[in-house]
Amino acid sequence: MKIAVLPGDGIGPEVMDQAVKVLHALVSDGLALEMEFAPIGGAGYDAAGDPLPAATLDLARQADAVLLGAVGGHRYDSLPRPMRPEQGLLRIRKELNLFANLRPAVLYPELAGASTLRPEVVSGLDLMIVRELTGDLYFGQPRGIHINAAGEREGYNTMRYSESEIRRVAHSGFRIAMKRGRKLCSVEKANVLETSELWREVVVEVGREYPEVALSHMYVDNAAMQLVRNPKQFDVMLTGNIFGDILSDEASMLTGSIGMLGSASLDEHNKGMYEPIHGSAPDIAGQDIANPLATILSAAMMLRYTFSLDEAADRIETAVRRVIAQGLRTLDIYTPDTTRVGCAAMGDAVVAAL
């Protein structure tokens, strides 16, 4: 099993070091994993003048799975858009056809106090956002900034989804719902947008093939509200690229920290890229205070979804639960009754708990 490891920028390299440590521990126990490293994002730009260097894309294509840290940094914010780190991420998702983005939001009982919501609202939370990842406003043409008829600058992007794009991600959502609580809520804005109207129609059609899954529909504004009002009403949330981007950040905070959540981005054949849902956090980079658990849990998702190594994935997830139960906390989830550790110490603790 070959893994392309792309640490990226900011805290990416330090959190990735910890995930690699954990994978190495499994390799010592006989897991046949091979890891190869390559730059992406700002690191790609620095190394090869491109946020997605050709060699990195080649490696990602050859590998069976990709493990990514995070991209982005203030240093790159003034580059022309195609050279910016975020474009490296968007391009690799598109090039590898990773249309189904799985973003779980799971609350660890011990972290209920780290959420800004009341413990009774979030305790026991276990929801999965399935976000479409290769279409929508992010990729729709035409797009740009031009001078309009009135002679002023005008920015425009296009929200568009074809039927087949909706259909394939809807299947992903229903299949995941079948393995979970068999409830799927499709989120869009069909009261205003034609794209959403089609989205709803196609989801209803696909839903007929999954009669055991209870399908509901919700407008995105209401969904944003319901997520903080009563998040436990949701099992699987299926939504488009832009809405999923926003809702998944919101959902992450229900669990206390965006530093705890991994994600999987899958193609038709379950080849995938795995990354923490947090960003590169340049303000805390290099200080050994970042939370590596989201990246470690992303590695567990990789073992589960791409390699079907449920046992190895369970081992990592159990080890993470154990260090949390031991009271070890990075700054983002620290409360005064716990023990504060740095990024590397947290990685070591997970390895010890394995």
Look up residue 67 and give its two tokens.
């493990």
Q: Of 316, 311, 285, 280, nearest to 6 (Cα)?
A: 280
Q: Which residues of 11-41 are buried (b: 16+ CB within 10 A; e: fewer)?
A: bbbbbbbbbbbbbebbeeeebebebeebbbb
Does residue 86 belong to the site contacting ligand IPM (CB under 6 A)? yes
Cβ at position 86, least distance to ligand IPM in Å: 4
Give residues 224-263 in contact with ligand IPM (rule: CB under 6 A).
Answer: 245
- In the bound state with Mg ion, the residue whose beta carbon lies nearer, of 7 and 276, is 276
Is the N-terminal amide bond of 142 cis, ω within 30° of 0?
yes
CA distance 308 to 270: 10
Among 84-92, 118-126, 163-171, 338-346, the segment contacting ligand IPM (CB under 6 A):
84-92
> Which residue's entry shows tokens 């620095």?
46
Among 86-94, 113-121, 180-188, 227-235, the segment contacting ligand IPM (CB under 6 A):
86-94
Look up residue 140 and give its two tokens.
């729709």
Residue 122's binding partner out of ligand IPM, Mg ion, none, with CB under 5 to 8 Å set by partner kind: none
Does residue 332 belong to the site contacting ligand IPM (CB under 6 A)? no
Answer for which of 6, 89, 166, 170 binds ligand IPM (CB under 6 A) is 89
Residue 86's binding partner out of ligand IPM, Mg ion, none, with CB under 5 to 8 Å set by partner kind: ligand IPM
Cβ at position 272, least distance to ligand IPM in Å: 14
- For residues 192 to 231, the per-residue mask of contacts with ligand IPM, x marking binding by CB under 6 A and - elsewhere, is ----------------------------------------
Contact 124, 232 (CB under 8 A): yes
CA distance 148 to 155: 9
Give the contacts of 179 (CB within 8 A, at least 6 positions apart). Answer: none
- In the bound state with ligand IPM, the residue whose beta carbon lies nearer, of 88 and 207, is 88
Sort 1 into a burial class: Cβ within 10 Å, 0-12 / 13-18 / 19+: middle
Cβ at position 248, least distance to Mg ion in Å: 7
What does the binding site for Mg ion look like in residue numbers (CB under 5 A)?
A: 245
Q: Of 285, 224, 292, 235, nearest to 259 (Cα)?
A: 292
**Residues with a known catalytic role:** 138, 189, 221, 245, 249
Contact 42, 72 (CB under 8 A): yes
Residue 98's binding partner out of Mg ion, ligand IPM, none, with CB under 5 to 8 Å set by partner kind: none
Cβ at position 195, least distance to ligand IPM in Å: 18
Cβ at position 277, least distance to Mg ion in Å: 7
CA distance 201 to 240: 14
- In the bound state with ligand IPM, the residue whose beta carbon lies nearer, of 207 and 244, is 244
Give me the residues that bind ligand IPM (CB under 6 A), please: 86, 89-90, 245
